[in-house]
Structure 1
């Protein structure tokens, strides 16, 4: 089984992104920063937040779904907010998406907010609402269930250090996973956590028997050349001891986002 996690950056690097996702042959694809703009005809929109301006593909979820016709697709927006087509304001949804190959039936699922709640009238002030997806699948090749959860962690303008909100997020994520995951079964948790390796997030997840593959395997950078700030950790992939890791990579090339893809192969 191949599990891939990626912050897709709203599809800003659309030209290399879509072929990569079509060809990576993921059984489970966990994506953060996905857009859906169902009333918009433009391919490109622009996100504006003060001095932060980011081009985004208007219907990234639908485009990825189109190149993965044998996957079941699940979109989980955190908010509907304002983007721009030129100077015209349009509303666009933003959130998580998980794609699961139809050879892996979904036998349990949960999605809920781990901070805040859905906003229909704007993205809101930072730190903005965040949700998580958790799917329990049956792996026919291994003849057992496996649970995969993903999160796009809180972004705090002050940085990636722990805050009360991040501590609450960690507890809420663990509670969500416990609703679906059966103790003793394999568990994978991944995503753009937006925290440093010493965060309370990892202590909370350790209570479920999870160990991070990024830091434990010596990786020190999960960002690409498109990210120019300090602090190169953001993305993580954690597994329980009964996940038979055949290979794990933090992909340097091709660059398809300002984040690197995390690719896990399970024997």
Structure 2
């Protein structure tokens, strides 16, 4: 007879130490002892894709958000390691993957200064309500860092100190601080010390972004399901980040004269 029917609440779960590494051209796999795999794809010298699975294999790799004609290719790719970390180097970025817990640190290859680094990094929680995992990522906020993006939001330009639910909602007569509203673009840019980067969180589940709201020096994003799958895009100029992002996701096609509602000449 089953006496205890309560679900076991495990809370946040984390990757353990890396036990295996493999490379297939521009795709790197890092496997841990508790079945987590990080797939790091080098798309360009300044664009890296990070995808995590907690079940030892990945879902079918497909996205409506990515332009099939997006630019790919890099000038330099080198992978080295020491006792503590793997180091992936391109002509624009240096990426450290820590062997003990899979945390990521990203540096500018030109001056070796920090751009973005994991706080807790990737972690997850079992979703008893929806099934599967709630996938989470937390990043350490750099000194004086500010954040922009997520599409139309009735907020200040700098999103620091705010939390958002990214889910398209027909919110009638919305006012300042109303969230969510009608547009959901899971892309933001961070800016500090004259360096700008972007993160595009490619996940179709309901997603959330916290810009130092819950914890003063931590920025995080998470989704109610699916895989943790995000693109890191480096500038260092803001316009470079936006250019690389729009190359990745595609730009709107030029509309017709009728679409612009311009009277014919």
| Larger Rg belongs to | 2
TM-score normalised to the size of structure 2? Answer: 0.30
TM-score normalised to the size of structure 1? Answer: 0.29
Q: More relative contact order in 1 or in 2 (CA 8 Å, sep 6+)?
A: 1
